[in-house]
């Protein structure tokens, strides 16, 4: 059976010391019964991956990065490779977050190259896709999502696809306090599943995790995580507060995968 995944994207927040404290606070607030049922992932800034890795060792929490570069090594100042992330204890990488697409001009082609590299290194990519407010209002959002998926998954084999996690994050819901309605979320998760089934087959979609992201917090998590087709959440703001993040993970542990 699919295990839900609750992922915390700390974005460009927390100093080295704060990252250590936040991970300690999460360890003390999360119960074993939650970790028995749900995968709980922390994605700190690059600079704190080492200390978070050390702090969470043996706790059952998982570690991921917020980004990666698509080359192995060399003259790429400021970039971090997939192998470096593996060597620091990461298991997951967020790829194609809308903030990177928009602010750092990350293209679908770059995202595709990153997914290839990450899979080669044995990491699990969390591929973020989502439409802007304008694209939703213009009712072209399904086309946008289909293109993002098709481009990102170019030449990814069926075997590799078994490892890919998708995060549906409508851009208009990220960091805005506006979350999509459960019916909108379920409809989009169903649509994503249909697109992936067309690209691969139903064996892939039956086991594929589709997370929802966009202003998930401890107050709305029960409703969002209960929506049909939601296998977990990618949490930004609320992942910076241990109590809120652990409460979201607890909600996930109490809801059956549908
Ligand atoms: C995110 O960073 O992916 C996100 C969904 O942020 P927030 O929860 O703050 O909207």
Percent of the chain with pLDDT over 90: 95
3-state secondary structure the chain: CCCEEEEEECCCCCCHHHHHHHHHHHHHHCCHHHHHHEEEEEECCHHHHHHHHHHHCCCCCEEEECCCCCCCCCCCCCCCCHHHHHHCCCCEEEECCHHHHHHCCCCHHHHHHHHHHHHHCCCEEEEEECCCHHHHHCCCHHHHHHHHHHHHCCCCCHHHHCCCEEEECCHHHCCCCCCCCHHHHHHHHHHHHHHHHHHCCHHHHHHCCEEEECCCCCCCHHHHHHCCCCCEEEECHHHHCHHHHHHHHHHHHHCCCC
- Distance (angstroms) between ligand 1 centre and the Cα of 237 equals 6
Rounded distance, CA 258 to CA 256, Å? 6
Report the predicted TM-score, pTM, of the whole model to 2 decimal places: 0.97
What is the pLDDT averaged over residues 35-44? Answer: 98
Nearest one of 120, 147, 126, 116 to 43, comparing CA atoms: 126
Q: In the prediction, which pLDDT does 176 show?
A: 86
Q: How far is the CA of 15 from the centre of ligand 1 (A)?
A: 19
Average pLDDT over residues 149-170: 98
9, 44, 97: residue to mutate for ligand 1 pocket, most atoms within 8 A of CB: 9
Query: Which tens digit of pLDDT belongs to each residue from 68-102?
Result: 999 999 999 999 999 999 999 999 999 999 999 99
Is residue 97 annotated as part of the catalytic site, yes or no? yes
Closest ligand 1 atom to 238 CA: 8
- Per-residue pLDDT band for 177 (boundaries 50, 70, 90) equals confident
Could you say which of 97, 99, 135, 218 is catalytic? 97
* More confident: 170 or 179: 170
What's the pLDDT score for residue 233? 98
**169 labelled catalytic:** yes
Nearest to 55 by CA among 19, 83, 87: 19
Per-residue pLDDT, 253? 97
Query: Taking the alpha carbons of 152, 154, 160, 161 in that order, is the dihedral positive or negative?
Result: positive
Query: Quick one: pLDDT at residue 2?
Result: 80
Pocket of ligand 1 (CB under 6 A): 9, 11, 169, 174-175, 213-216, 234-237
Rounded to the nearest angstrom, the distance between the alpha carbon of 155 and the centre of ligand 1 is 29
Q: What's the average model confidence in pLDDT over 109-117? A: 98
Alpha-carbon gap, residue 156 to 164, rounded angstroms = 10
Instruction: Please pick, among 99, 106, 131, 169, the residue that the annotation labels catalytic.
Output: 169
Q: Are 207 and 166 in contact (CB under 8 A)?
A: no
Q: How far is the CA of 209 from the centre of ligand 1 (A)?
A: 18
CATH number, span 4-253: 3.20.20.70
Is the Cβ–Cβ distance between 85 and 125 less than 8 Å? no
Q: Residue 63 above 80 pLDDT?
A: yes
Supply the residue whose CA is at minimum distance from atom 2 of ligand 1.
236
For residue 244, what pLDDT band results from cuts at 50, 70 and 90?
A: very high
Percent over 70 (pLDDT), the chain = 99
Phi, psi values for residue 29, rounded to 5°: -95, -15
């Amino acid at each position: 059976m699919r295990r839900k995944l609750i992922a915390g994207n700390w974005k460009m927040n927390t100093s080295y010391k704060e990252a250590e404290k936040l991970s300690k606070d999460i360890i003390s607030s999360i119960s074993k019964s939650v970790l028995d049922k749900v995968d709980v992932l922390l994605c700190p800034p690059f600079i704190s991956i080492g200390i978070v890795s050390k702090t969470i060792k043996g706790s059952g929490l998982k570690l991921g990065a917020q980004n990666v570069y698509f080359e192995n090594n060399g003259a790429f100042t400021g970039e971090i490779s997939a192998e470096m992330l593996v060597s620091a204890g990461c298991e997951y990488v967020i790829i194609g977050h809308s903030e990177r697409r928009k602010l750092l001009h990350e293209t679908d082609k770059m995202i595709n190259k990153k997914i290839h590299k990450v899979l080669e290194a044995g990491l699990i990519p969390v591929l973020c896709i989502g439409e802007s407010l304008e694209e939703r209002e213009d009712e072209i959002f399904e086309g946008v999502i289909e293109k993002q998926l098709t481009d990102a998954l170019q030449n990814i084999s069926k075997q590799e696809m078994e490892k890919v996690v998708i995060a549906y994050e409508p851009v208009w819901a990220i960091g805005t306090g506006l979350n999509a309605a459960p019916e909108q979320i379920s409809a989009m998760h169903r649509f994503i599943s249909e697109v992936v089934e067309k690209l691969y087959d139903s064996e892939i979609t039956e086991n594929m995790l589709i997370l929802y992201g966009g202003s998930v917090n401890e107050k709305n998590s029960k409703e969002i995580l209960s929506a049909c087709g939601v296998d977990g959440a990618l949490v930004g703001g609320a992942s910076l507060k241990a109590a809120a993040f652990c409460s979201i993970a607890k909600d996930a542990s109490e809801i059956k995968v549908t």
